[in-house]
Amino acid sequence: MRDFPSCFGESGVQVADSSSSSTTKAAQNLVTCVYQCKLRGRSCLITVTWTKNLMGQGVGVAIDDSNSQCLCKVDIKPWLFSKRKGYKNLEVDSDKVIINWDLSNAKFGSGPEPLEGFYLAITFNLEMVLLLGDMKKEAYKKIESSPVHSKAIFIARREHIFGKKFYSAKAQFSDKGQMHDVTIECDTFDLKDPCLVIRIDSKMVMQVKRLKWKFRGNYTILVDELPVEVFWDVHNWLFGNAMGNAVFMFQTCLSSEKLWTNQSIFDPSVLTWSSSQKLRDCQLQGLGFSLILYAWKNE
């Protein structure tokens, strides 16, 4: 979990990332997803990180228990990804963890995450705890397991998006909710008073004027009749390096506003969770979903 500087990190969210061009290029091909699962009847977090570079595709899997202790971590390196179908056997405290994957027919878009024609399955003592992809029948056949629906809950996603004025992503804010198009609009070129607009499915849900005075803040919107807290930090866009990134967080945790009582989000240098453990507990209880978008300006 150390490579996911979000609400689950020990020191919370830091949005003042490095703005070097090398960081930008690396960030463009990285998507991290976090799932809440059950191991030994207790909650755990499984982090799946999809990567892409000139050598090919890659995926990393990390399993952390409820005390943030890493139980195991596996990296399928891009340069080894010519073996696009395989498995890994691991042992965690005498328990057997098996990671199976088949990406031999996977179809990819512009990002590192496969869109269809694949599966990634994680079993714990022959019980399916996480199954990703559309080839579910093939996965169950491979691991010789009965098709029992995985109870894993998708609780967080971190993604890097790019643009000059418009920045787009897709998000599903609840387990049974529909997929939405999220668009962030902000023109900071040669404007004395830039404005920030966020749209969900082309409908404007938030507008921030006098952005130079409100470069950090939060606002509540409604998506699928569910309150979603939006946090933003566009300091780097307005006052930082031209290659700097802004950060947006969409948080559906209903008690998220209580997590900001100890420290103002208008910290002059970074946006930091005032109580990362409380937020983590909130997520482990299945109360919400977090979407973190790092928005980079194209050169």
pLDDT tens for 132-160 read 999 998 998 888 766 666 778 899 999 99
The C-alpha atoms of residue 15 and residue 50 are separated, in whole angstroms, by: 21
The C-alpha atoms of residue 262 and residue 258 are separated, in whole angstroms, by: 9
Asked if 35 and 130 count as a contact pair (C-beta separation under 8 A), the reply is: yes
Tokens encoding 155: 């609780």
Of 92 and 6, more confident:
92
Asked if 216 and 239 count as a contact pair (C-beta separation under 8 A), the reply is: no
CA angle 51, 57, 62 (to 5 degrees): 50
Query: 201 in the Ramachandran plot: left (φ > 0), alpha (ψ -120 to 50) or beta?
Result: left
pLDDT at 184: 97
**Where residue 185 falls among pLDDT bands split at 50, 70, 90?**
very high
Predicted model pTM:
0.78
Residue with tokens 């921030």: 208
Kindly report the average pLDDT of the chain as a whole number: 77
Instruction: Give backbone dihedrals phi and psi of 2, rounded to 5 degrees, phi first.
Output: -65, -25
| Nearest to 11, CA basis, from 268, 271, 267, 215 | 271
Q: Which residues contact 65 (CB under 8 A, 6 or more apart)?
A: 39, 42, 44, 71
CA angle 100, 121, 279 (to 5 degrees): 130
Asked if 15 and 24 count as a contact pair (C-beta separation under 8 A), the reply is: no
For the chain, the residue count is 299
CB atoms within 10 A of CB 184: 23
Of 59 and 270, more confident:
59
Look at residue 273 and tell me whether its pLDDT is greater than 50: no
Mean pLDDT lowest among 181-195, 218-232, 263-277 = 263-277
What are the extents of the domains in the chain?
A: 21-153, 164-297
The C-alpha atoms of residue 275 and residue 89 are separated, in whole angstroms, by: 36
**Where residue 24 falls among pLDDT bands split at 50, 70, 90?**
low
Residue with tokens 């139980």: 71
The C-alpha atoms of residue 160 and residue 17 are separated, in whole angstroms, by: 12
Amino acid found at 175:
D
Alpha helix (H) ranges present in the chain? 21-27, 136-143, 235-239, 276-284
pLDDT at 288: 78
| Nearest to 289, CA basis, from 249, 240, 246 | 249
| Nearest to 13, CA basis, from 215, 294, 298 | 294
pLDDT tens for 55-104 read 778 899 999 887 767 778 888 876 666 778 888 988 877 788 899 999 98
